[in-house]
Amino acid sequence: MSVAISVTGLVKTFGPTRALDGLDLEVATGEVHGFLGPNGSGKSTTIRVLLGLLRPDSGAVRLLDGDPWDDAVALHRRLAYVPGDVTLWPQLTGGEAIDLLGRLRGGIDPARRSELLDRFDLDPTKKSRSYSKGNRQKVALVAALASDAELLILDEPTSGLDPLMEAVFQEYIREVRAQGRTVLLSSHILAEAEALCDRVSIIRHGRTVQSGSLDELRHLTRTSIAVETARPVTGLESLSGVHDAARSNGQVRFDVDTDQLDSVLRHLTGFGVRSLRSAPPTLEELFLRHYGDELAEDGVPVPALDRP
Amino acid sequence: MSLTRPALGGTGTLVRFALRRDRIRLPVWIVVGAALVAEQSLGSQALYDTPAALAAYRATVGTSAAAIAFSGPPVGLTTVAGAVAFEISGSVMIVAALMAMFTTGRHSRADEEAGRTELVRSTEVGRHAPLVAAVAVSALACVALALAIGGVATLTGLPARGSFLLGAGVGACGLVFTGVTAAAAQLSESTRAAYGITGAVLGVAFLLRAVGDINGSGLVWASPIGWAQAVHPFSDDRWWPLLLCIGAAGALLAVAVALLDHRDLGAGLLSGRPGAPTAGRLLASPLGLAVRLQRAALLAWAVSLAVLGAVYGGMGDAVEGLFKNNPNAQAFFPGASAAGLVEAYLATIFSIDALLAAAFAVSSVLRARSEESAGRAEPVLATATSRTAWLRSHVAVALLGSALLVVASGAATALVRAAAIGDAGSFGRLFAASLAYVPAVWVLAGVAVAAVGALPRAAAALAWGMVGYVVIVTVFGPGLNWPGWVNDLSPFSWTPLVPVESWTAVAAVGLTAAVVALLAVGFGAFRRRDLSTG
């Protein structure tokens, strides 16, 4: 497996603030990698280091087999970037901004450009000052997607798009992956990461807390079970791996550590299972496991993970 | 719809908030306006201290078409006070108009363009409140400026009645341009366009009164500046022309409110025309982008400086006549001899043109910093554009643009002067002389580049602080007994007073070396540091 992005032990401080605190990130060539974390966790700072806009304090960073600081210009020819907060030149039209950014990167495919404008329903003749946040984001997206860059670095690219446009975006990302290109997609929209990403890295407070494919991460989390049995279930709480069991109207709901699923199901069949529903953990749950304690510390009630 | 209570809800709160936001800006405008009048008052009283000197002034400047075009109607020149009003009222009225334009625009269209008005209007604030509050703040500033001018003019020894009338004329001119800006802000969705419209009205108003004053026609009555100057302070002392200004300001405000009722929030009445769907050939490099971003400003500066240069050149004759009759004036122009009074005058003019060109150069370099802090440098530097190439583009526009400004003003001055004395040969000599300041202008640009590279957050303050320092040393330095190093720190002090003194290669080479060193510091630091936004 060749590696597009490799970051180990990255530290970046701004005065007293430690924005990145030993962050690790590895993105394989050809994968769509989700870069997840709440606001302020260090996603944009990491991306700016990858682009050579910020100089790291310590740690090793490799991007497309180059050094992002020393080889910035050569590397930038091979990548396209969509900033999280797109600001454009108010007096330029969207079409002019797209062409400018495309040309500065080394060229733009006119046919693909016009197809993207059409699909994203963007009017290129309007001055940038009159664009909404979503339209400014579309300008950056069209400029990036119209390129043939081998690596796309997208910082929360859909935060201003409506669901229809988000679907168009997902379609293009799948196309990019099918072409064997690499995508680093930062997001806090979990459904998007679940829909698109081969692997994800979850960061918090400038540190990577978990990394792997969604399947791998699911091993670390729990499955929700709702079961109806002929006879009342006993002894459930004493089984290892069972959490938050609750009974109502002859139904039992609980969460179970995924690696204990088999033994728990064996236990249940002894009571005459009438119906059983199970749901795999969503990324929301992965997130809540990593940030739930933080929310609780801040006095925010953590929602119970119950689903039908 | 007319102004009603619910539509005006929250106006008082918005006025207080705007005054708080402008607690530094407005006092600066007012102090600058009052200081111009005070300086002119003290300077004129020292220069024209005898009836003979004043008579000479009347006979020369008072009959010079260029001086009248630049200043106003030549009335009341039998007293020093009248001469003060003649010399300064035009300039300070432009200051008042600009203060009114920026204050009104900042609190109306600029807030709306940035989306702040939307947030404010979602609270218990009426539809007309933001506009009326902006107009009220600007009007308060005009009244304060009027009182400040009246006060300082009286304190410097001018008759109180005329002093306050002079102030009232200036304030009334500001009121008219408050109304013009309020109406212009309804027309376009961009603040820059609103300023452009207001600036054009100001330019036309100045032109109409200049032509009207020169040929003594009624054309001055087509210009709000003409109305404001028609009070004739210290001579006729008329109050009634002020009513024209106040009436016009009120009518413009009514128009603005009516226009406001016919448009959506954030929109303009002149809907933005569709622009180019694809970029032209210019927008293919960082330099092309820098040129595109700055060409409109550069063009406006070049035209303004060329017009200014031509007017200054045309005043050469009046200066000659004046100085022949008033030896006191020689003290104002260092290095003057009986033969070279006009040359000394032109040397001063060239240094003032160069200071203006330096102001452009600094604002142009700082454009790079504002691109960076607004987050617009980031997407460009994420392409195959090196930091050096990006910064070099903005610096190139600053250096070549400021040189172009020096050329435009110097050529205009030299051309008009050469035509006036009927000596084609003097054109080349004067034009070459004006170019002597280019290295000094570039040193100031270099200071800005070094600051943007090494101390980005303080860059604007440092660069403009240096410009202010150089202005003070250049304009007031010769008359004041400061220690030598105070003068030596200004690059303008190292430039010979051409055409009075002769150009020296040593000074030019030394200044150019300083430019190179400052650019090296700036580029070196910019390559090594983090990009900083916000």
Burial class (CB in 10 A: 0-12, 13-18, 19+), B42: middle
Q: Are residues A230 and A190 in the same domain?
A: no
The larger pLDDT score, comparing residue A290 to residue A69, is at: A69
**Candidate from A253-262, B33-42, B164-173, B335-344 with smallest mean pLDDT:** B335-344
Least Cα separation, residue A176 to chain B (angstroms): 19
A249 touches chain B (CB under 8 A): no
Sign of CA dihedral A124, A127, A129, A131: negative
pTM of the model: 0.79
Domain count across chain A: 2
The larger pLDDT score, comparing residue B265 to residue B336, is at: B265
Cis preceding-peptide flag for A68 (omega within 30 of 0): no
What are the φ/ψ torsions at residue A206 (nearest 5 degrees)?
Answer: 75, 15
The pLDDT of residue B170 is 97
Is residue A231 one of the residues assigned to a domain? Answer: yes
Q: Is residue B331 scored above 80 in pLDDT?
A: no
Chain B environment of A124 (Cβ under 8 Å): 277-278
Kindly state the tokens that stand for B284.
């293919």
CA nearest B274 in A: which residue?
A125
Q: Are residues A46 and A13 in the same domain?
A: yes
Residues B176-194 have a mean pLDDT of 91
End-to-end CA distance of chain B: 41
CA nearest A74 in B: which residue?
B384
Length of chain B: 534
A68 touches chain B (CB under 8 A): no
Q: Is residue A302 scored above 90 in pLDDT?
A: no
Q: Residue B333: which pLDDT band, with cuts at 50, 70 and 90?
A: low
Chain A environment of B394 (Cβ under 8 Å): none
Q: Are residues A276 and A260 in the same domain?
A: yes
Chain B environment of A91 (Cβ under 8 Å): 192, 293
The pLDDT of residue B216 is 79
Q: Residue A306: which pLDDT band, with cuts at 50, 70 and 90?
A: very low
Q: Are A175 and A151 within 8 A, CB to CB? A: no
Q: Are residues A128 and A231 in the same domain?
A: no
Strands A182-187 and A151-155, how do they pair? parallel
Strand partners, A248: A251
Of B374, B364, B367, which is closest to residue B404 (Cα–Cα)?
B364
The pLDDT of residue A46 is 96
The pLDDT of residue A187 is 86
Residues B195-209 have a mean pLDDT of 89
Which among B374, B382, B530 has the least Cβ separation from residue A76?
Answer: B382
The pLDDT of residue A292 is 65
The pLDDT of residue B4 is 59
Which among B283, B386, B529 has the least Cβ separation from residue A96?
Answer: B283
Q: Is residue B128 scored above 70 in pLDDT?
A: yes
Q: Is residue A304 scored above 50 in pLDDT?
A: no
Length of chain A: 308
Of A131, A132, A145, A229, which is closest to residue A181 (Cα–Cα)?
A145
Where helices occur in B262-386 by DSSP H, the ranges are 286-314, 316-325, 341-373, 377-381
Q: Are B512 and B439 within 8 A, CB to CB? A: yes
Q: Are residues A232 and A121 in the same domain?
A: no
Q: Which residues does B205 contact at the CB level (< 8 Å), separation at least 6? A: B223, B224, B225, B226
What 3-state DSSP class applies to A127?
Answer: strand
Burial class (CB in 10 A: 0-12, 13-18, 19+), A215: exposed
Of the residues A199, A216, A233, the one at which a domain ends? A216
Q: Residue A308: which pLDDT band, with cuts at 50, 70 and 90?
A: very low
Is residue A37 one of the residues assigned to a domain? Answer: yes
Rounded CA gap, A101 and A122, in Å? 16
Q: Are residues A146 and A170 in the same domain?
A: yes
Q: What is the CATH number of the domain that holds A121?
A: 3.40.50.300
Q: What is the pLDDT of residues B3-53, one digit of tens each?
A: 556 788 889 999 999 999 999 999 999 999 999 999 899 989 988 888 988
**Candidate from A66-70, A222-226, A304-308 with smallest mean pLDDT:** A304-308
Least Cα separation, residue B285 to chain A (angstroms): 6
Q: Residue B208: which pLDDT band, with cuts at 50, 70 and 90?
A: confident
Distances (CA, A) of B243 to A271, B183, B236, B246, B333: 97, 20, 16, 5, 41
Strands A3-14 and A58-63, how do they pair? antiparallel
Q: Is residue A10 scored above 70 in pLDDT?
A: yes
Rounded CA gap, A99 and A109, in Å? 10
> Which residue reads 């100045």 in tokens?
B206
H or E segment to which residue A245 belongs: strand A242-248
Least Cα separation, residue B29 to chain A (angstroms): 28
Least Cα separation, residue B471 to chain A (angstroms): 32
Most confident of A188-202, B68-82, B127-141: B127-141
Q: Is residue B365 scored above 80 in pLDDT?
A: yes
Is residue A136 one of the residues assigned to a domain? Answer: yes
Q: What is the pLDDT of residues A30-65, one digit of tens each?
A: 999 999 888 888 999 999 999 999 999 999 999 999
Are the Cβ atoms of A83 and B529 closer than 8 angstroms?
no
3-state secondary structure B83-114: HHHHHHHHHHHHHHHHHHHHHHHHHCHHHHHC
The larger pLDDT score, comparing residue B236 to residue A243, is at: B236
Is residue A212 one of the residues assigned to a domain? Answer: yes
Q: Are B402 and B360 within 8 A, CB to CB? A: yes
Rounded CA gap, B344 and B330, in Å? 9
Provide the mean pLDDT of chain B: 89
Is residue A291 one of the residues assigned to a domain? Answer: no
Q: Is residue B197 scored above 80 in pLDDT?
A: yes
The pLDDT of residue B338 is 46
Rounded CA gap, B243 and B246, in Å? 5
Q: Is residue B250 scored above 80 in pLDDT?
A: yes
Of B213, B241, B231, B272, which is closest to residue B67 (Cα–Cα)?
B213
Is residue A76 one of the residues assigned to a domain? Answer: yes
Chain B environment of A126 (Cβ under 8 Å): 272, 274-275
Q: Are residues A230 and A209 in the same domain?
A: no
Provide the mean pLDDT of chain A: 87
Q: Are residues A137 and A36 in the same domain?
A: yes
CA atoms within 13 A on the CB side of A235: 11
Radius of gyration over alpha carbons of chain B, in Å? Answer: 24
Most confident of A53-57, B203-207, B209-213, B340-344: A53-57
Q: What is the CATH number of the domain that holds A270?
A: 3.30.70.260
Rounded CA gap, B204 and B219, in Å? 12
Contacts by residues A61-65 (CB-CB < 8 Å, ≥ 24 positions apart): A61/A6, A61/A7, A61/A10, A62/A3, A62/A5, A62/A6, A62/A7, A63/A4, A63/A5, A63/A6, A63/A151, A64/A4, A64/A5, A64/A150, A64/A151
Query: CA angle A113-A114-A117, nearest 5°?
Result: 90
Q: Are residues A163 and A247 in the same domain?
A: no
**Count of other CB atoms within 10 angstroms of residue A132:** 9
Contacts by residues B56-61 (CB-CB < 8 Å, ≥ 24 positions apart): B56/B321, B56/B322, B56/B324, B56/B325, B56/B326, B57/B83, B57/B322, B57/B325, B57/B326, B59/B321, B59/B325, B60/B318, B60/B319, B60/B321, B60/B322, B60/B325, B61/B318, B61/B322
Q: Residue B311: which pLDDT band, with cuts at 50, 70 and 90?
A: confident
Rounded CA gap, A221 and A256, in Å? 8
Chain B environment of A92 (Cβ under 8 Å): 275, 279, 283, 292
Q: Are B111 and B130 within 8 A, CB to CB? A: yes
Instruction: Indicate the DSSP class of residue A187.
Output: E
Is residue A133 one of the residues assigned to a domain? Answer: yes
The pLDDT of residue A28 is 95
Domain range for A245? 222-280
Q: Are residues A52 and A103 in the same domain?
A: yes
What are the φ/ψ torsions at residue B313 (nearest 5 degrees)?
Answer: -60, -40
Is residue A288 one of the residues assigned to a domain? Answer: no
Q: Residue A201: which pLDDT band, with cuts at 50, 70 and 90?
A: very high
CA nearest B289 in A: which residue?
A100
Most confident of A170-174, A248-252, A263-267, B341-345: A170-174
Least Cα separation, residue A89 to chain B (angstroms): 7
Are the Cβ atoms of B528 and A51 closer than 8 angstroms?
no
A63 touches chain B (CB under 8 A): no
Q: Are A146 and A116 within 8 A, CB to CB? A: yes
A70 touches chain B (CB under 8 A): no
Which among B293, B376, B528 has the least Cβ separation from residue A87?
Answer: B376
Distances (CA, A) of B389 to B386, B392, B395: 5, 5, 10
This model of the complex carries an ipTM of: 0.81
CA nearest A55 in B: which residue?
B530
Which among B277, B382, B384 has the least Cβ separation from residue A125?
Answer: B277
Of B510, B499, B492, which is closest to residue B358 (Cα–Cα)?
B492
Radius of gyration over alpha carbons of chain A, in Å? Answer: 23
Q: Which residues does B270 contact at the CB level (< 8 Å), separation at least 6? A: B187, B188
The pLDDT of residue B493 is 85
Chain B environment of A150 (Cβ under 8 Å): none
A266 φψ region: left (φ > 0), alpha (ψ -120 to 50), beta (else): alpha
Q: Are residues A210 and A228 in the same domain?
A: no
A136 touches chain B (CB under 8 A): no
The pLDDT of residue B322 is 65
The pLDDT of residue A233 is 87
Are the Cβ atoms of B293 and A91 closer than 8 angstroms?
yes
Q: Which residues does B216 contact at the CB level (< 8 Å), separation at least 6? A: none
Q: Are residues A68 and A201 in the same domain?
A: yes
Q: Is residue A305 scored above 50 in pLDDT?
A: no
Q: Residue B363: which pLDDT band, with cuts at 50, 70 and 90?
A: very high
Orientation of helix B129-155 relative to helix B160-187, angle to 10°: 160
Which among B190, B277, B284 has the least Cβ separation from residue A103?
Answer: B284
